[in-house]
Structure 1
Amino acid sequence: MPAKPPVRATRAYPYLALLSVCLAAAAMPLTFTGTAVALPSIAGTLGAGPVATAWVTNAFMLTFGSALMASGALSDSLGRRRVFLFGAASFALFSLALTVAPDILLFDLLRGGQGLAAAAAYAGGAAALAQEFEGPARLRAFSVVGTSFGVGLSLGPVASGAMIESFGWRSIFLAVVFLTTLAFLIGRLALKESRDPAARGLDWAGATAFTAMLALFTYGMLLVPERGWSDRLVLGLLLAAALCFALFIGIERMVARPMLDLSLFRYRRFVGVQLLAAAPAYGFVVLLILLPLRFVGIEGMSAVAGGGLMIALSAPLLVLPIVAGWLARWLRPATLCGGGLIVTAAGLVWLAALPPGTPPAVLALPMLVIGTGISLPWGLMDGLAIGVVPKERAGMAMGIFSTVRVAGEGVALAVVGAILSLLITGRIQAAGLPGQPQVAGQSLAIGDLKGAMAALPGADPAEILTLYGAAFSWLLLLLATITTLTALVVFLSLGEAAEREESVASGAGH
C-alpha cells in the first residue's frame, strides 16, 4: 500500500501571513463596534423589540465564543491554513448577506453565522501564525495581531457613523466584506499548511454541551429584565445552562483528546492567563456597546459625533499593545497586565462621576484613561496564551484562550445589559413614575429613549435622563470593582512565585 502523501508545504511568507491574519482580526471587532453605533437604526428599520435587538450583538458574540475551541481543535486536525481560509471566505459571505437581510429574525441568524465564520478565521489564523514565528518574534507577531484588533475597535465606530449618515446602516458591513476578502486572498498565497499529527478530530459531544451552555445562559440573561430573576423560564434556562456546563466538564474528563485540557488548570500561570483574557470584557468591551447606545440613542448625538467620541476609548489600542510588547523586555507580564487593569478601573470610576449631558471633550478624558489601561494587557495576552503549551498544541491553546475572551465578552454583554436594565427600572419605580417601568428600563438600556418615553406617558424627559445617568454610574462603579479584583488576581497568578511553580513543575515532568 503506497504511503500517504505528506501535507503540501507552500512557500512561507511569514510577514504576508501575519498581514492576512491581521486583516481578519481587524474585521472582527469592526463588525460589533460598528453595529453598536447602528443599533438604534437597525431596530427602527427592522421593527425589533428589546430582546431581538440585544441578539443583534449577542448572536455574533455567542457563536464566536462558543465555536472558538472547536475551531482550534479542527485547525489542529484538518489544517490551520484550510480552516482559516474557510472562515475568512464564510465571514465575507455572511457579511454580504447582512446588507440585504429583510427582517430581524434573518438578520440575527446571519449574525450567528458571521460569528461561526469569525471563530474559524481567528482560531485557524492564530494557530497558523504560531508555526510561522519562534520565541520573541512570536510574541511580537501576536502583539501586532492585538494592535489589529485595536484598529478595528478604533475605526469601527467613527467609520460606521460616517457610512450610516452617508449610505445607510447596511453599508457598514461592506467594509467587513472588503477586509475578509483581502485576508482570504493574501492567506491563500502566504500561509503554509500545518497540523498536529496527534490530533484526533473534533470532540463533538464537548462542543455541543459547551455551545448549549452558552446559548441557554445568554438567552436566560436576556430575559431577566423583562421577566425577573424568579421567573420559571429564566430559572429553567439558567439551571439547564449549569447542567450543560457540568456535562461539558464530565465529557472533557473522559475523552482521550478533549477540546479543553483540564490538566492545564493545575498551573496558576495558565489560570492567570485565562482570567486576563476575560478581564477586558467587563472593563472595556461592554463600553464599546453601551457608550454608543448612550451617546446616540439617549443623549441624541449624531452617529458621526458618537462614533468619533468612541475613538478616545479605543485609539490607544492602535499603538500601546506594541509598546507593551517592547516593555515586556524589562517588566514582568504581571506588572504590565495588572497595572494596566488598575489604570482601567480608575478610568471607570472617573467616567462614573460624569452624568449624561457632560461635554464630549470632558467625557473623552476618562475614556482615554480606560483605553490606555486596557491596552497594556491587550498587547501581551495572545502571546502569553500560546506560550503556556507546547507548540504543536497551539490551536488548542489559542482556542481555550480565545474562547474565554470572546465567550466572556458575550456573557458580559448579556449580564451587564440585564443589570443596567434592572438598575434603571429600579430607579424609575423608586421615583414613582406612572407607566411601565420595566419596558422603559429595557428601552433605555438599548438606547431607545422614544420607547421609554412612550412607556412613561407624561414623564419629564430631564428626570428620565437623570435616572438613567444614576443607574449608568452605579454600573460603571460595579465594573471598576470587578476590574480591580481581577487585577489583584492577575498580580498573584502571573507573578514571580507562579513562574517558579511552573518551572519546578515542568522540571519534574522531564
Structure 2
Amino acid sequence: MLDSNIVAVALPTIARSLNATFTDIEWVVSAYILTFAALLLAAGSYADRHGRKRAMLIGLGIFIIASALCGFATSAHVLNWARALQGIGGSLLLTSALAVINHAFVGVDRAKAYAFWGTCLGIAITSGPIVGGVITDWLGWRWAFLINLPVGFILFIAAAKIIDESRDPDAKSLDIAGILTFSCALFLLIWALIDGNNVGWATTVIIWRLVGAALLFIAFAVVEVRQKRPMVDFSLFRNRTFLGATFAMLGYAAGAQVLVFFLPLFLQIAYGLAPSSAGFAMLPFALPMFLTPLLGARLAGRYSGRTLLTLGLVVSVFGDVLLSTLAASEASYAFLVIGMLVAGAGAGLLNGETAKVMQGAVPAQRAGMGSGLTATVRFVGLLLGVVSLGALLSKEVSRHFIASSLSLGLDPNLAASFAKRVAAGDFGSLMIQLPTSLHEPVQAAATKSFVSGFAAASALAAITAATAGILTYVLVRRADTAPAVGGHESAVAAME
C-alpha cells in the first residue's frame, strides 16, 4: 500500500522524465494492480499447498528484484513490465501475510493482530503521499522504488528468522486452467479499456480484445463449476447478501478508493503544487480513511452491515459530487478540503465493513477461498475504476484542450499531439515547442482541460458509488448482517 501511494504522487514527474503519455502512466498503476489482482487466488492456493513462509519469502524476493528494475527503468515500457513483476510479488506477500497471522494467533489475539495489521495499512495510506512527495522532490522518482531494496532486505531476513512455516494439509494442487483463463481474461479487458481512447472503441482490435475477454471469463466459470474444490465457488453469488456485499466492494474500490491515484495528479496540476506539497495536501482525504474505521467499529455494535455499507456509499457519493463540483468551479484548495474530508470518510467507513460482510457470508470451512475472493473483487474493482475513470479523464482533457488550443491558432495535429502530454500532466515539454507569446495561454488551457477531466472522472465515481449503494441496499439482508450482541465492545476492543 505504501509503495502504490508513493508512486501515485510521483506520476507527473515520471511522465516528464520518461516522456510518457497518459496511457503509459495509467499502466504504471494498472500493470501492478492487474497482476496483483489476477494472481491473488492462485497465490493463496500456492501458500496453502507449499508453505506460507516460503510464499512470503518468494514474494519478497520478487518484489525486491522488481523494485530495482523499476528504479533503473530507462523507458515507460520497461517500468510497466517491472511494475507487473512487482504485482506478482505483491500477490504472494498479501495472501501469505494474512495466512501467517491466521496461523500464528487465535481468539482475541487474532482479532488484535488483524486490527494492528489494518492500522498499518491506514498508516501507509496516510503517510504514502507525504513520503512519496518528499522522496520525489529530494531524491527523485526512482527512489520511490529503490527505497524498497533496503526495506525489503530487512523484512526478508526478519521473516526467514521469525516466522514459522505452516501449510494446509488438505490443500489441492494449483488450478492452472482457472489461473490462466482468469488472468488472460482480465488482461484483455484492461488492455481494451486503457487503449480504447487512443485506438478507437469501434476498431477491430478493441472489439476482439473485449470478445476474447468475455469468452475467457466464460471459460473460467466453466472450469471452476466442474471442480470439486473450485478456486471460486460461484454458488456464493446465489446468496443475496454476498452478492450485495460484492457490489458494495466494487463501489468502494471504483468509486472511493480510486481517488488515491487521481487526487495527487489533480493537486499538482490544478494548484501547481510540488510532489511533496501535494503529498501533504492529500491529508484531508487520507486521514479520514485512517480514523473513520474506529467510528465504524463503534457503529457496528448498533447498526446492521447493510446500513453501514449503504451509509458509506452515500457519503462517498456526496464526497465525489463535491470534488467534481469544486473542481469544475475552480474553487480554492480551502474549499476542496471539504470534498476530500467527505470522500475520505466514506472510503474509511467502507474499508473494513465491505470485507467483514463478504467474509461473513462465506461458509467457515471456505474462509481461505473467501478471503482471496474478497481481495480479488476489491482490486479488480480498483483496477476497473482506474482505467474507466482514466479513460473518461483522458477523453475530456483531449476534447477541452484541442478546442481551446485551436482557438489560440495552434495547428490541429500539433494540438492533438499536445493533448496526450497534457493528460499525463507534462506541460513543460509543450512550452519549448511554442513561441513565448503562447506560453501563458496554452498553460492556462492545459490546466483548465485537466481540471475539466478530473471533474468528469469524479462525477463518474459518484455514479458508480450511487449504483453500488442502491444494489447493496436492495440485496444485502438486514438479518444476515445484524449487529452481534456485545458487538460494540468487542469491535472497539479489537480496533484498540
C-alpha distance after superposition, 1:126-151 (max 9, x if no partner): 23323445567655544443332222
| Structural mapping, 1:47-446, within 5 Å | 47-133=19-105, 138=110, 141-355=113-327, 358-428=331-401, 433=407, 434=410, 435-436=412-413, 438-446=416-424
C-alpha distance after superposition, 1:54-78 (max 9, x if no partner): 2211110111111111112222222
Residue aligned with 2:31, SS: helix
TM-score by length of 1: 0.84
Letter in 2 for 1:421: S
Kept after mapping to 2: 8 A contact 1:123/1:399:
yes
Once the two structures are overlaid, the 10-residue window that deviates more, 60-69 or 194-203, is: 194-203
C-alpha distance after superposition, 1:33-67 (max 9, x if no partner): 21121122222223333333322111101111111
Residue aligned with 1:319, SS: helix
Structure 2 unaligned residues grouped into runs of 5+: 483-496
Residue aligned with 2:7, SS: helix
Deviation at 1:313, TM superposition (A): 0.9
Deviation at 1:100, TM superposition (A): 2.3
Q: How many residues align?
A: 472
Letter in 1 for 2:451: G
Residue aligned with 2:208, SS: helix
Kept after mapping to 1: 8 A contact 2:33/2:383:
yes
Residue aligned with 2:258, SS: helix
| Structural mapping, 1:30-45, within 5 Å | 30-45=2-17
Residue aligned with 1:258, SS: coil
Letter in 1 for 2:459: L
- Which residue of 466, 471, 478 maps to 1:496? 478
Residues 495, 321 of structure 1: alpha-carbon distance in 2 compared, 3 angstrom cutoff: same
Residues 206, 106 of structure 1: alpha-carbon distance in 2 compared, 3 angstrom cutoff: same
Residue aligned with 2:326, SS: coil
C-alpha distance after superposition, 1:330-379 (max 9, x if no partner): 22222222211211111111111223753323222210111111101212
Kept after mapping to 1: 8 A contact 2:324/2:458:
yes
Once the two structures are overlaid, the 10-residue window that deviates more, 354-363 or 278-287, is: 354-363
Runs of 4+ in 1 over 6 A off after TM superposition: 452-457
Deviation at 1:243, TM superposition (A): 1.4
**1: CA distance, partners of 2:107 / 2:124:** 27
C-alpha distance after superposition, 1:293-328 (max 9, x if no partner): 122245421111111111111112223224423432
Letter in 2 for 1:312: P
Kept after mapping to 1: 8 A contact 2:393/2:454:
yes
**1: CA distance, partners of 2:446 / 2:301:** 51
Residue aligned with 1:364, SS: helix
Residues 177, 390 of structure 1: alpha-carbon distance in 2 compared, 3 angstrom cutoff: farther
C-alpha distance after superposition, 1:214-261 (max 9, x if no partner): 111111112112122112211121111111111111111123332111
Give yes or no for the alignment of 1:481 onto 2:466: no
Deviation at 1:396, TM superposition (A): 1.6
Letter in 2 for 1:129: I
Kept after mapping to 2: 8 A contact 1:30/1:155:
yes
Kept after mapping to 2: 8 A contact 1:33/1:289:
yes
Root-mean-square deviation (Å): 2.7
Residues 162, 75 of structure 1: alpha-carbon distance in 2 compared, 3 angstrom cutoff: same
Deviation at 1:204, TM superposition (A): 0.6
TM-score by length of 2: 0.87
Residue aligned with 1:83, SS: helix
Kept after mapping to 1: 8 A contact 2:248/2:313:
no
Kept after mapping to 2: 8 A contact 1:205/1:251:
yes
Letter in 2 for 1:197: P
- Which residue of 443, 448, 467 maps to 1:461? 443
Deviation at 1:460, TM superposition (A): 4.1
Once the two structures are overlaid, the 10-residue window that deviates more, 39-48 or 262-271, is: 39-48
C-alpha distance after superposition, 1:141-200 (max 9, x if no partner): 444433322222211111111111111111122443455444444444554443333321
Residues 34, 368 of structure 1: alpha-carbon distance in 2 compared, 3 angstrom cutoff: same
Once the two structures are overlaid, the 10-residue window that deviates more, 93-102 or 284-293, is: 93-102
Deviation at 1:268, TM superposition (A): 1.5
Residues 377, 192 of structure 1: alpha-carbon distance in 2 compared, 3 angstrom cutoff: farther
Once the two structures are overlaid, the 10-residue window that deviates more, 355-364 or 130-139, is: 130-139
**2: CA distance, partners of 1:453 / 1:401:** 46
**1: CA distance, partners of 2:386 / 2:2:** 16
Kept after mapping to 2: 8 A contact 1:123/1:395:
no
C-alpha distance after superposition, 1:449-508 (max 9, x if no partner): 3467789995643344334333322321221121122122223333315559xxxxxxxx
**2: CA distance, partners of 1:182 / 1:398:** 27
Deviation at 1:419, TM superposition (A): 1.3
Residue aligned with 1:146, SS: helix
Once the two structures are overlaid, the 10-residue window that deviates more, 470-479 or 134-143, is: 134-143
Residues 384, 186 of structure 1: alpha-carbon distance in 2 compared, 3 angstrom cutoff: farther
Structure 1 unaligned residues grouped into runs of 5+: 1-28, 501-510
Letter in 2 for 1:242: A
Residues 358, 407 of structure 1: alpha-carbon distance in 2 compared, 3 angstrom cutoff: same
Kept after mapping to 2: 8 A contact 1:130/1:386:
no
Letter in 1 for 2:464: I
**2: CA distance, partners of 1:455 / 1:341:** 45
Once the two structures are overlaid, the 10-residue window that deviates more, 388-397 or 470-479, is: 388-397
